Amino acid sequence: MNVVDYPWLSLHWQRLVQLTESQKLPHAFLFIGSQGIGKKTLVQAFEALLLCQQPTLQSACGECRSCYLQQQGLHPDSRRYGEQDPISIDDIRELKSFIEETPHQNGKKVVCLFGVDKLQTAQANALLKMVEEPQDKTVLLLVANKGTILPTLKSRCFIINIPIPASQVALAWLVQQHPQVAISQINMSLYFATGAPLQARALLAANLNEYEAMISALLTGNVAAFDSAQIQEFILSKPLAALYLMYYFLADLLKVVLKGEPGYLYNDDQSQQIAKLKMCIPTPRIVEFIDNVNESIKSLALPGVNKSLLFESLFCQWQLLCQQGIKHESRT
Ligand SMILES: [Zn+2]
**What 3-state DSSP class applies to 139?**
strand
Give the pLDDT score at 325. Answer: 60
How many percent of the chain have pLDDT more than 90? 44
Give the pLDDT score at 237. Answer: 87
How many whole angstroms from 134 Cα to the centroid of ligand 1? 25
How many whole angstroms from 68 Cα to the centroid of ligand 1? 7
How many whole angstroms from 50 Cα to the centroid of ligand 1? 9
Distance CA 6, CA 323 (A): 47
Residue 331 pLDDT grade (very low, low, confident, very high; cuts 50, 70, 90): low
State mean pLDDT over 15-27. 90
How many whole angstroms from 168 Cα to the centroid of ligand 1? 34
Quick one: angle between helices 183-192 and 239-259, nearest 10?
Answer: 110
Q: What is the pLDDT of residues 208-259, one digit of tens each?
A: 778 888 888 999 888 999 999 999 998 998 888 888 888 888 888 888 888 8
How many whole angstroms from 69 Cα to the centroid of ligand 1? 10
State mean pLDDT over 307-316. 94
Half-sphere exposure of 5 (CA within 13 A, CB side): 12
How many whole angstroms from 20 Cα to the centroid of ligand 1? 14
Give the pLDDT score at 267. Answer: 67
Fold of 3-162: Rossmann fold (3.40.50)
How many whole angstroms from 57 Cα to the centroid of ligand 1? 12
Fold of 208-331: Zinc Finger, Delta Prime; domain 3 (1.20.272)
State mean pLDDT over 12-38. 92
Give the pLDDT score at 39. Answer: 95
How many whole angstroms from 158 Cα to the centroid of ligand 1? 24
Question: What residue type is 318 in one-letter code?
Answer: W
In order of 111, 273, 282, the CA distances from 323 in angstroms are: 61, 14, 12
How many whole angstroms from 61 Cα to the centroid of ligand 1? 4
How many whole angstroms from 60 Cα to the centroid of ligand 1? 5
Closest CA to 293 of 246, 226, 224: 246
How many whole angstroms from 178 Cα to the centroid of ligand 1? 32
Residue 326 pLDDT grade (very low, low, confident, very high; cuts 50, 70, 90): low
How many whole angstroms from 59 Cα to the centroid of ligand 1? 9
Q: What is the pLDDT of residues 75-106, one digit of tens each?
A: 999 999 998 888 998 999 999 999 888 888 86
**Domain ranges (residues) in the chain:** 3-162, 166-206, 208-331
DSSP code of residue 179: T
Q: What is the mean pLDDT of the chain?
A: 87
Give the pLDDT score at 332. Answer: 47
Q: What is the pLDDT of residues 290-307, one digit of tens each?
A: 999 999 988 988 888 999
How many whole angstroms from 93 Cα to the centroid of ligand 1? 29
Range ranked top by mean pLDDT from 120-134, 182-196, 314-328: 120-134
pTM: 0.71
Distance CA 236, CA 11 (A): 43
How many whole angstroms from 52 Cα to the centroid of ligand 1? 4
Do 266 and 252 touch, CB atoms closer than 8 A? yes
